[in-house]
Amino acid sequence: METTSTSAQAPPPADPADGRSATATAPVKGKAVRPGDKVFRGLSRGSGITLLVIMAAIAAFLAYRASIAVSKNSVNFLTAFEWNPQGDPPAFGIGVLAFGTVVSSLIAMVIAVPVAVGIALFVSHYAPRRLAAPLAYVIDLLAAVPSIIYGLWGALFLVPYLDGLTRWLDQFLGWTTVFEMSNPGSPARSIFTVGILLAIMVLPIITNVSREVFLQAPKMYEEAALALGATRWETIRTSVLPFGRSGIISASMLGLGRALGETMAVATVLSPGFLFSWHILDPGSGTFAQNIAAKFNEADDFGRDALIASGLVLFVITLLVNGAARWIIARRKEYSGANA
């Protein structure tokens, strides 16, 4: 707090809370700053600036390394379907990686968001309390499972288990091209399987955040709806979901962030490849994070710079996704629960 001092005309009275320095500066500046505030402001400002400087330094370093690699690239970095930085001339592009990353994350979101919102609503508004608490606890636990465990489970259980489903999709939906398998019977180490695994992995976090948001929807509006003769579902639709909207979007963004950047689980399940194809059931594709993890150790300095360049693209995609989410949330501010 700052006190613009009207007491400047009179000698400042001994104010025990003000301390020595304040009494000394007050008559000169006409302003009294408590030392505690000063220290706190200095600390918070300092750490904020430090953080920004560190981030800027990291970004500059990565951008510099990436630019070295990209400037010597002989093909279009954004559209090429190969990864050959050690070649002469070097040729590498992120086409397959971008496709694999975006498609697997999209599959994950399409599956995970509705299921997570459903579970969250069940836990917050339908389940009897005796059931809700243990359920919430189990979901919390799932969020804490390390991703390599999901990866192993995916490779050992999900991949063989999905064989039947992929064959079925190929047989009945093959005509859509997307679900066509070039080689029916090949193991399901595909972008599709990765998408399903990612859906399972991001489910807990989306569920948890949504549940919190639903529980925080003000009870007074639920009562208003109930008193009008709304059924439970109508109550949820009129006075829980509208409040949860921005929360669901934020939760989904958290999940999407995790899906886009997931490394170990994807690397364990996916069989890598650089041939571009629309057939999401075919093995042989890649994602940014998986590709970096797989290649980083064997790569020479130039190869690592190329990988850094691909990492920067992932970063930009994440930024774009976040920006889009913020825009969606901001668009209907006037009607949001925030100004209730």
Partner 1 sequence: MAKRIDVSGLTAFYGSHRAIDDISMSVEPRSVTAFIGPSGCGKSTFLRTLNRMHEVTPGGRVEGKVMLDDEDLYGAQVDPVSVRRTIGMVFQRPNPFPTMSIYDNVAAGLRLNGQKRKRDLDETVERSLKGANLWNEVKDRLNKPGSGLSGGQQQRLCIARAIAVQPQVLLMDEPCSALDPISTLAIEDLISELKSRFTIVIVTHNMQQAARVSDRTAFFNLAAVGEPGRLIEIDETERIFSNPSVQATEDYISGRFG
Query: Using CB under 8 A as the criterion, which residues of the chain lie in contact with partner 1 when the complex forms?
Result: 129, 220-221, 223-231, 234, 238-239, 242-243, 334-337, 339-340
Quote the least distance from Cβ 214 to partner 1, whole Å: 14
Residue 338 CB, nearest approach to partner 1 (Å): 9
- 16/128 with CB nearer partner 1: 128
Pairing status of strand 31-33 against strand 2-4: antiparallel
The single-letter DSSP state of residue 229 is: T
199 backbone dihedrals φ, ψ, rounded to 5°: -60, -45
Between residues 28 and 220, which has the closer beta carbon with respect to partner 1? 220
Which CB atom, from 39 or from 133, has the smaller least distance to partner 1? Answer: 133
- Residue 70 C-beta: closest distance to partner 1, Å: 47
In the complex with partner 1, the residue whose CB is nearer, 41 or 333, is 333
Closest CA to 113 of 103, 124, 121: 121
* CA dist., res. 64 & res. 74, Å (int): 18
Q: Cβ 206 to partner 1, closest distance in Å? A: 22
Q: How near is the Cβ of 85 to partner 1 at its closest, in Å?
A: 52
Query: 235 near 218, Cβ under 8 Å?
Result: no
Q: Which one, 99 or 243, has the nearer CB to partner 1?
A: 243
Cβ neighbours of 131 (radius 10 Å): 12
282 CB-side CA count, 13 A: 17
Tokens of 50: 């430090």
Rounded distance, CA 203 to CA 189, Å? 21
Three-state SS at 240: coil
Which residue number, 49 or 228, has a Cβ lying nearer to partner 1? 228
At its nearest, how many Å lie between partner 1 and the CB of residue 210? 17
* Cβ neighbourhood burial of 142 (10 Å; 0-12, 13-18, 19+): middle
- Closest distance to partner 1 from the beta carbon of 124 (Å): 13
Three-class SS of residue 2? strand
Torsion from C-alpha of 24, 29, 31, 36, nearest 10 degrees: -50
Give 180's DSSP letter. -
The smaller minimum CB distance to partner 1, of residues 24 and 228, is found at 228
